[in-house]
């Protein structure tokens, strides 16, 4: 690795001080203009029903109520992006999940708005909800959406609720299974999981005299939200402005319009600013969940442990509306074959409507689910065949030139990370329980699991302005979600020869900042970083031209470093960047560098995790004692920040493995609508954690950077489930693993 002055250093996040002292402005802190109204939504209590009537006259007459909207007062617009299956306030006459909006109010006070909601009378004809995605896939049940043939939804084989289905393969699957000495088949299931952010959805919407809607909101994707609001309101993009605030946690759950279009319509109809904030219960009904998965995996193995065939069938329950369901489903199919040499592979995947809540991307969407199936089955195979779990992964792990559904493996990263984690975890040493847990019915177990992510990226753009004091301001349309502003500033500082204190990053808003990718997919630093480097190069070129004229030197003989420009052959001849900024209007105008980057090629990201657990089957108690995660990050732009991302992901993975569950009642509504009932890991659940940063630079990416935010959660649940299998001698096939499942093993 090259030695850098700023890049690659463990520096404190530049956004930390404001957050530490409470100065950071979140959506709820957006300054409200005078006459701001409070907006609330009346949501359906039923998962599937026909809306017979909505009576709101009494609500409209109440004191302080400024506007009440029902389906009769809403635009006749279908929206939903790629699949336009949503309508305003059940305007098509149906509600399809418990929490779907049926009316809205805006009032002078929150109490008045609540009273108005209570005064609205809605008559429903309750219909039987479709709760089983497998039944929806296979036909023979009611259709969630009638009359949507024009959307390209499938109807083959009676699968009238199938949004889309896909198939990928390589080799000869039938010949592969015919060759296999043994065949293993298992089915794994996962349920709804909430993103678990602490800050709830909140917005402030206002309308200008020209009809332009401005929305302040906590979003991960300002431009996508702008497009969605414009679509739902029937406005051009020039009439919608999204101002992103700080985000108090997102994990993918804040990439889409949730309240933004609702507040915008209330503001348009009332002529006054409208603030809306979700309660925790409302967020658990109408937010965006990690979708349930059903995964059936069949693997053919030779007697020496060599994998020769795999057939996988995946069904994703996307809930009541299908926005981006197709892309999310098709984009993760390669995970059926991405870490091991399996010459014959077929994977079928489909995404299905049910009367469930809205679902969408949540940290590493579909990745923990696929890896639960592939990695837990790998341990089942190893134990059944008498092969050590690490050894079967060594035997089958991808090496240079091997082919998988993800393409040809070229950089040796899989084996590199696997061996580092095996060494750092002391895998070959016997695992023993802590002395205080020996006896008393406690058993110990250790599990290993590998993970893969494609390493996608996005097109980005940014500008870098030279300020009058010689500092720099980066402006880009990608928000700072997880400390990316620090890493991007480190890149710019390294390129421009200044310290981190001389560079700052700002997202701006959709009117003012260059459009850029959303803050998801573990691709921000890599993708926006490419644009930052180009913008820095553009700014540097202009700086050197101004300095060349001022110093009467050839620009090719100038260097930039330590906050100044100097002549290489005569270092005493120099000028500070502040002096360049002062001189530039007479030569170039104010100096701004511009950078644009195309969507980069994918770069694979590999991770390996080891989990150590203690379980008491009779009590149904599980304690995660230690988690070790190794990841190939390419180049650690900020090792301190990367360690934080890895540790946070592992902790979130504990929640997926053992705690987080959003079950449904018999009527299709969600059970448990608060953090008292929906369990998240707390400080008391944090085990010993070890992060192993592997730096194997990727090709075609700034400084060799690979994504970091999502990969560390991919294998956590699988590693914990494998550790449980090691402890009790039996596998588990669903998440989260519950106490009664452990007690059943003890019987």
300 vs 131, 297, 375, CA distance in Å? 33, 10, 15
Give residue-wise pLDDT tens across range 239-251: 999 999 999 999 9
Would you place residue 141 in the very low, low, confident or very high pLDDT band (cuts 50, 70, 90)? confident
Contact, 481 vs 519, CB < 8 A?
yes
Tens-place pLDDT, residues 397-450: 999 899 999 999 888 899 999 999 999 999 999 999 999 998 889 999 999 999
pLDDT at 157 over 80: no
The pLDDT, as a whole number, for residue 673 is 80
Per-residue model confidence (pLDDT) at position 252: 95
**Between 674 and 304, residue with greater pLDDT:** 304
User: How far, in Å, CA of 143 to CA of 127, rounded?
Assistant: 11
Q: What is the mean pLDDT of residues 650-679?
A: 91
**CA quadruple 359, 194, 243, 531: dihedral, nearest 10:** -80
**CA-to-CA distance for 69 and 322, rounded, in angstroms?**
25
Cα–Cα distance, 349 to 332 (Å, whole number): 9
pLDDT, residue 153, reads 65
d(CA 447, CA 456): 29
For the record, the structure tokens of 462 come out as 């940014």
**pLDDT tens by residue, 27-52:** 999 988 889 999 999 999 999 999 99
In tens, the pLDDT along 680-694 reads: 999 999 999 999 999
Least confident among 51-65, 144-158, 693-707: 144-158
Percent of the chain with pLDDT over 90: 89
Strand order in the sheet with 307-319: 162-170, 344-353, 307-319, 293-301, 182-190, 734-735
* pLDDT in the model for residue 747: 60
Confidence of residue 156 (pLDDT cuts 50, 70, 90): very low
On the question of pLDDT at 707 being above 50, the answer is yes
Give the distance between the most distant pair of CA atoms in the chain: 87
> Looking at the DSSP assignment, which residues form a beta bridge with residue 243?
216
Q: 150 or 323: which carries more pLDDT confidence? A: 323
Q: How high is the mean pLDDT of the chain?
A: 94
State the average pLDDT over residues 477-493: 95
What pairing do the DSSP bridges indicate for beta strands 621-632 and 688-694? parallel
d(CA 193, CA 628): 24
CB 55 within 8 A of CB 105: no
Mean pLDDT computed over 318-329 = 94
Mean pLDDT score, 648-673: 92
In angstroms, the Cα distances linking 731 to 52, 352, 434, 735, 745 are: 49, 28, 23, 12, 10
DSSP bridge partners of 627: 611, 689
Q: Note if the bond before 736 is cis, omega within 30 degrees.
A: yes
Predicted local confidence at residue 666, as pLDDT: 87
pLDDT 10s digits, 564-594: 999 999 999 999 999 999 999 998 899 999 9
- Band of pLDDT at residue 150, cut at 50, 70 and 90: low
Find the helix or strand (DSSP H, E) in which 103 lies.
Answer: strand 101-107
Taking residues 543-567, report their average pLDDT.
95
Sheet containing strand 460-466, edge to edge, reads 503-506, 472-476, 460-466, 592-597
CB 95 within 8 A of CB 51: yes
Phi-psi region of 414 (alpha: psi -120 to 50; beta: other; left: phi over 0): alpha
Q: Across the strands, what pairs with 612?
A: 446, 626
For residues 163 and 325, the answer to whether their CB atoms sit within 8 Å is yes
- Please give the Cα distance from 715 to 726 (Å, whole number): 16
Sign of the torsion angle spanned by Cα atoms 632, 328, 239, 287:
negative
**Residue 155 clears pLDDT 80, i.e. is over it:** no
- Of 118 and 672, the structure prediction assigns the larger pLDDT to 118
Q: Is the pLDDT of residue 149 over 90?
A: no
Q: Count how many residues are written for the chain.
A: 747
pLDDT in tens, 599-623: 998 899 999 999 999 999 999 999 9
The stretch 315-339 carries a mean pLDDT of 94
Distance, in Å, from the CA atom of 265 to the CA atom of 70, rounded to the nearest integer, reads 12
Owner of token pair 């890991």 = 681
At a CB cut-off of 8 Å and minimum separation 6, what does 211 contact?
235, 239, 268
Instruction: Single out the residue of 323, 144, 319 nearest to residue 228, CA to CA.
Output: 323
Percent of the chain at pLDDT exceeding 70 = 98
């Amino acid at each position: 690795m090259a030695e850098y002055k700023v890049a690659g250093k463990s520096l404190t996040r530049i956004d930390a001080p404001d957050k530490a002292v409470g100065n950071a402005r979140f959506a709820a802190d957006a300054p409200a203009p005078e006459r701001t109204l409070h907006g609330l939504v009346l949501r359906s209590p039923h998962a599937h029903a026909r809306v017979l009537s909505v009576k709101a006259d009494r609500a409209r007459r109440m004191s302080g109520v400024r506007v009440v909207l029902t389906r009769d007062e809403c635009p006749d617009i279908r929206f939903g992006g790629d699949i336009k299956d949503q309508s305003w306030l059940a305007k098509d006459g149906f509600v399809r999940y418990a929490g779907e909006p049926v009316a809205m109010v805006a009032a002078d006070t929150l109490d008045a708005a609540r009273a108005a909601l209570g005064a609205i009378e809605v008559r429903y004809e309750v219909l039987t909800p479709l709760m089983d995605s497998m039944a929806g896939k296979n036909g023979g049940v009611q259709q969630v959406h009638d009359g949507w043939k024009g959307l390209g939804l499938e109807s083959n084989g009676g699968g009238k609720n199938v949004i889309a289905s896909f198939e990928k393969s390589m080799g000869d699957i039938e010949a592969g299974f015919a060759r296999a000495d043994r065949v293993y088949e298992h089915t794994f299931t996962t349920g709804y999981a909430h993103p678990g952010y602490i800050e709830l959805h909140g917005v402030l919407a206002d309308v200008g005299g020209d009809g332009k809607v401005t929305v302040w909101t906590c979003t991960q994707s300002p431009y996508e939200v702008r497009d969605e609001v414009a679509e739902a309101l029937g406005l051009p993009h020039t009439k919608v402005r999204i101002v992103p605030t700080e985000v108090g946690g997102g994990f993918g759950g804040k990439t889409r319009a949730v309240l933004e279009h609702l507040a915008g319509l209330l503001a348009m109809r009332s002529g006054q600013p409208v603030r809306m904030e979700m309660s925790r219960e409302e967020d658990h009904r109408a937010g965006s969940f990690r979708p349930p998965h059903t995964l059936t995996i069949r693997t053919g193995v030779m007697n020496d442990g060599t994998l020769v065939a795999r057939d996988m069938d995946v069904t994703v329950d996307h809930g009541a509306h299908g926005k981006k369901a197709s892309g999310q489903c098709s984009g993760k199919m390669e995970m059926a074959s991405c870490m091991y040499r399996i010459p014959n592979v077929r994977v079928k995947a489909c995404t299905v409507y049910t009367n469930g809540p809205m679902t969408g991307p949540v940290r590493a969407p579909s990745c923990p689910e696929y890896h639960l199936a592939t990695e837990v089955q790998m341990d089942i195979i190893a134990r059944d065949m008498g092969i050590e779990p690490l050894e079967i992964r060594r035997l089958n792990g991808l090496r240079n030139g091997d082919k998988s559904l993800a393409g040809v493996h070229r950089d040796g990263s899989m084996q590199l990370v696997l061996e580092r984690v095996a060494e750092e975890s002391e895998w070959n040493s016997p695992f023993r329980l802590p002395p205080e847990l020996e006896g008393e019915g406690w058993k110990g177990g250790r599990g290993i699991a590998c993970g893969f992510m494609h390493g996608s990226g996005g097109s980005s753009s940014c500008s870098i302005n030279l300020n009058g004091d010689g500092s720099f301001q980066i402006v880009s349309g990608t928000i700072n979600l997880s400390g990316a502003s620090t890493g991007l500033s480190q890149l710019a500082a390294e390129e421009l020869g200044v310290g981190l204190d001389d560079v700052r990053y700002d997202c701006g808003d959709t009117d003012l900042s260059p459009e850029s990718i959303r803050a998801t997919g573990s691709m921000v630093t890599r993708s926006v970083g490419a644009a930052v480097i180009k913008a820095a190069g553009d700014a540097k070129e202009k700086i050197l031209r101004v300095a060349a004229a001022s110093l009467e030197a050839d620009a090719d003989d100038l260097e930039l470093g330590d906050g100044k420009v100097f002549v290489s052959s005569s270092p005493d001849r120099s000028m500070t960047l502040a002096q360049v900024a002062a001189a530039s209007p007479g030569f170039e105008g104010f100096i701004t560098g511009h950078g644009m980057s195309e969507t980069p090629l994918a770069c694979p990201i590999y991770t390996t995790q080891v989990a150590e657990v203690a379980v008491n089957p009779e009590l149904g108690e599980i304690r995660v004692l230690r988690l070790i995660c190794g990841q190939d990050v390419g180049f650690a732009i900020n090792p301190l920040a990367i360690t934080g991302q890895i540790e946070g992901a592992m902790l979130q993975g504990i929640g997926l493995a053992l705690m987080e569950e959003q079950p449904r009642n018999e009527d299709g509504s969600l059970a448990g609508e608060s953090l008292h009932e929906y369990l998240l890991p707390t400080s008391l659940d944090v085990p010993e954690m070890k992060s192993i940063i592997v730096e194997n630079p990727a090709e075609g990416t700034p400084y060799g950077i690979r994504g970091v935010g999502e990969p560390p959660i991919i294998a956590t649940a699988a590693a914990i489930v494998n550790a449980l299998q090691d402890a009790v001698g039996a596998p588990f096939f669903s998440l989260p693993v519950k106490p009664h499942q452990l007690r059943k093993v003890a019987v």
